[in-house]
């Protein structure tokens, strides 16, 4: 079945460092891909999304490109801030499954001043 | 912020007791979802609804039932709670389902002793 695999955390970076969180997926058809972020004690919020191959989603300095050839959707940010500390979830919405989201296990990011 | 509330926000109960969690939305979105979040598993779909009285199972539906008698309310019931159902439960909504952004509630922390 469809699945999402994220890199293991926690990831600890210094402020202004470059961030990459890897995400790969397995799916039939052409899924939509999402990154959600969860700040401590809160629910998930959409960070960005891409609905077709080669689309780039971007928001708040974060970017991810839908790569069909490598089945990947890696999250990047050029310069992280302490306020980016959170758990990041990669997810896919399969074409034939009523919009259900399948999540990766989450990657915790901690940014130190 | 999307108008989604969950109640209760925290609950402690004993094994074998029934528990009902409520999700209420003010957005008039058609689709509603219940997920559980556990360490190492990300979020996993329990049940979802694609309209009033229309529901379907997710990947971890055993031991759970749902009901949706009004557009705005989606109830999750644990018929006889077990310790393995200790988790954080999130409700989500979306307007059209497929490939649409899901908006998440604040979550309910459930502890089954």
Q: pLDDT tens across B16-60, in order?
A: 999 999 999 999 999 999 999 998 888 999 999 999 999 999 989
Could you tell me if A89 lies within 8 Å of chain B, comparing CB atoms? yes
Report pLDDT for B2: 65
> Do the Cβ atoms of B18 and A76 come closer than 8 Å?
no
Q: Say which DSSP state B107 is in.
A: -
Could you tell me if A52 lies within 8 Å of chain B, comparing CB atoms? no
Cα Rg for chain A, rounded, in angstroms? 14
Could you tell me if B102 lies within 8 Å of chain A, comparing CB atoms? yes
Distance from CA of B98 to the nearest CA of A (A): 4
Average pLDDT over residues A76-80: 97
Report pLDDT for A83: 96
Taking the C-alpha atoms of residue A93 and residue A28, their distance in angstroms, rounded to an integer, is: 11
Could you tell me if B58 lies within 8 Å of chain A, comparing CB atoms? yes
CB contact under 8 A, B90 and A51: no
Report pLDDT for A63: 98
Distance from CA of B17 to the nearest CA of A (A): 26
Residue found by looking up tokens 């990766």 in the block: A104
Average pLDDT over residues A68-82: 96
Which residues, including other chains, have CB under 8 Å from residue B58's CB and lie 6 or more apart?
A100, B33, B34, B35, B44, B45, B46, B47, B48
Structure tokens at B101: 């952004």
Q: Where in chain B does DSSP place strands (E)?
A: 4-7, 10-13, 19-25, 31-38, 42-51, 54-57, 64-70, 73-78, 87-94, 103-104, 108-112
Beta bridge partners of A89: A36
């Amino acid at each position: 079945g469809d699945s999402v695999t994220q890199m293991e955390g926690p990831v600890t970076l210094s402020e202004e460092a470059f961030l990459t969180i890897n995400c790969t997926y397995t799916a039939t058809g052409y899924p939509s891909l999402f990154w959600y972020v969860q700040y401590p004690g809160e629910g998930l919020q959409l960070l960005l999304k891409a609905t077709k191959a080669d689309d780039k989603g971007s928001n708040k300095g974060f970017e991810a490109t839908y790569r069909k050839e490598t089945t990947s959707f890696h999250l990047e940010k050029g310069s992280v801030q302490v306020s980016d500390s959170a758990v990041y979830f990669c997810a896919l919405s399969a074409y034939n499954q009523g919009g259900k989201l399948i999540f990766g296990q989450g990657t915790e990011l901690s940014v130190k001043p | 912020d999307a108008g989604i509330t969950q109640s209760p926000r925290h609950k402690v109960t004993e094994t074998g007791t029934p528990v009902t969690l409520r999700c209420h939305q003010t957005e008039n979105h058609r689709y509603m979802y219940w997920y559980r979040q556990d360490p190492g598993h990300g979020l996993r779909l329990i049940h979802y609804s694609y309209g009033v009285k229309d529901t379907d199972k997710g990947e971890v539906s055993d031991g759970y039932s749902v009901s949706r008698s009004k557009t705005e309310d989606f109830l999750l019931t644990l018929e006889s709670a077990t310790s393995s159902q200790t988790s954080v439960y999130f409700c989500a909504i979306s307007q059209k389902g497929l490939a649409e952004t899901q908006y998440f509630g604040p979550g309910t922390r459930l502890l089954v002793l």
